[in-house]
A and B are shown apart, each in its own frame.
Chain A
Amino acid sequence: MTTQVKTTSSAVAKVNELGTARLVALAFAGAMLFTVGFANSATIHDAAHDTRHVQTFPCH
Chain B
Amino acid sequence: MLYRIFATAFAAGIIAAALISVLQSFTTTPMILAAETFELPPLSEDEVDTAAEIQRSVFTFMANAVTTIAFALITVVGLTFGNAKPDRTKGLMVAAIGFAAFGLAPAMGMPPKLPGMPVGDFDLRQYWWISTALMTLVGLVCLFVQDKLSLKVLGAILLIAPHIWGAPMPDNMDSDVPATLAANFAANAIVMSAVLWTTLGATTPYFYEKFKPKEV
Contacts and interface: CB of A to CB of B under 8 A. Distances in A.
User: Interface size for chain A: under 10, 10 to 19, 20 to 34, or 35 or more residues?
Assistant: 20 to 34
Interface in B74-107: 74, 76-77, 80, 102-103, 106-107
Contact of B70 (A28, A50, A59): A28
Contacts of A18: 1, 80
B112 to A, nearest CB: 5
Interface string B128-159: 01100000000000000000000000000000
Interface residues of B, number: 47
B77 A26 contact: yes
Interface string B46-77: 00000000001001101110110111011011
A56 B126 contact: no
Interface string A8-26: 0000001001101110111
Nearest to B125: A58
Contacts of B28: 50, 53-54
A38, A46, A51 interface centre (most CB from chain B within 10 Å): A51
Contacts of B77: 22, 25-26, 29
A25 B64 contact: no
B122 A29 contact: no
A26 B80 CA distance: 12
Interface string B1-31: 1101110010000000000100010001100
Contacts of B69: 32
A11 B59 CA distance: 44
